[in-house]
Amino acid sequence: MNLVNQIIQGDCLDVLQQFPDNSIDFIFTSPPYADQRKKTYGGVKPDEYVGWFLPRSEQFLRVLKPTGTFVLNIKERAVNGERHIYVLELIMKMREQGWRWTEEFIWHKKNSYPGKWPNRFRDSWERLLQFNKQKKFNMYQEAVMVPVGDWAKDRLTKLSETDKTRDESKVGSGFGKNISNWVGREKVYPTNVIHMATECGNKNHSAAFPVDLPSWFINLFTRSGDVVLDPFIGSGTTAVAAIKLSRKYVGIDVSEEFCNLSRERTSGIQMQFLAVEPKSEAYNSNGSA
């Protein structure tokens, strides 16, 4: 039975048992956060979250190739006016499990949920925790390089006009500092802060993250033909990103409804790609070892 390019219904803890060791190139997932999405996932309590997650991350560790990477999108919530520590505990326990905590990317969500409270501001960022099995892993940095123009865009226009005035930075401060470094250079490397808005306009499906988010990491950590796993596939966003980048995908979800939604989206994309692009060509042609 072929296990690849499918959306599989079930708890990833069980489903992944069928997968052989070292068979996945990259894992990207955004598990249901503690006490969130109760309707679909039943709502794991903050205090029980680590215990719930660890047996699953043990499976992730087993199926991931030694050179592979696991990127976990997660954010702790405020409980009784205080940030809960289940994410911190999770990192420490995963290290004991054998994972290496390589990096923490920050996803800056410009359009975070509104609201006003006496003792905190709007929570506008999430963690993207990078874990690895080894010190050496596959990383194709060239695949996510930004053209110099776009880099300037990223820093200046992508932050929108208002942000420029908001942070009251002196004009050119830091920007002018070393501009000579980039002049004449075509592309530059990004940083570990990712600016991306959440998608909220989609009526058919409500994705937790925009497709650009998994796309960015898939480009960074895999090459064409590699296998991408999302054990909490939800509305299928990670699979969509994988298909668009000519990677293989495996999506798992306990919810039959979400599985069907994912299957709809992926098959739609696949059709589109077969029609438009008969030749399976690498989207990312500049990746290198």
Using CB under 7 A as the binding rule, the residues of this chain from 158 to 177 that contact DNA are 158-160, 163, 170, 173-177
Half-sphere exposure of 5 (CA within 13 A, CB side): 11
DSSP single-letter state for residue 155: I
Binding site partner of 165, from its own copies, DNA, none, Cβ cut-off 5-8 A by kind: its own copies
Sign of CA dihedral 272, 199, 9, 215: positive
Q: What is the C-alpha separation between 55 and 50, in angstroms, rounded?
A: 9
Minimum CB distance to its own copies, residue 81 (Å) = 4
Round to whole Å and give the CA distance between 173 and 160: 17
Q: Per rule CB under 8 A, is residue 139 in the interface with its own copies?
A: yes
95 vs 120, beta carbon nearer DNA: 120
Residue 161, amino acid: E
Q: Of residues 26, 137, 217, 249, which one binds its own copies by CB under 8 A?
A: 137
Q: Which does 108 bind (CB under 5 to 8 A by kind): its own copies, DNA, none?
A: its own copies
Instruction: From the list its own copies, DNA, none, pick the one residue 54 interacts with, judged by a Cβ distance below 5 to 8 Å according to partner type.
Output: none
Residue with tokens 């990259």: 26
191 binds its own copies (CB under 8 A): yes
Pairing of strands 100-108, 125-132: antiparallel
**Tokens describing residue 23:** 């068979």
Give 200's contacts (C-beta < 8 A, 6+ positions apart): 111, 206
Binding mask 150-179 for its own copies (x = CB under 8 A): xx---x---xxxxx-xxxxxx--xxx-xx-
Residue 121 binds its own copies (CB under 8 A): yes
Question: How far is the C-alpha of 147 from the C-alpha of 190, rounded, in Å?
Answer: 10
> Min. distance of Cβ 91 from DNA in angstroms?
16
Query: Minimum CB separation from DNA for residue 131, in Å?
Result: 14
* 197 binding its own copies? (CB under 8 A): yes
Closest CA to 284 of 245, 232, 240, 228: 245
Among positions 23, 36, 97, 224, the unique one binding DNA when judged by CB under 7 A: 36
What DSSP letter does each residue of 213-228 carry, written as one string? HHHHHHHHH--TT-EE
Query: Which positions from 176 through 215 interact with DNA, judged by CB under 7 A?
Result: 176-178, 181-182, 185, 188-189, 197-203, 206-208
- Minimum separation from the CB atom of position 67 to DNA (A): 14
- Cα–Cα dist 240/247, whole Å: 10
Choosing from 17, 141, 272, 280, the residue that interacts with its own copies (CB under 8 A) is 141
Residues 204 to 243: which contact its own copies by CB under 8 A?
212
CB 208, min distance to DNA, A: 4
Q: Compute the C-alpha angle 9/12/18, nearest 5°.
A: 90
Distance CA 146, CA 72 (A): 23
Residues in contact with DNA by CB under 7 A are 30-33, 36-37, 73-75, 77-81, 110-111, 113-120, 122-123, 126, 148-152, 154-155, 158-160, 163, 170, 173-178, 181-182, 185, 188-189, 197-203, 206-208, 234
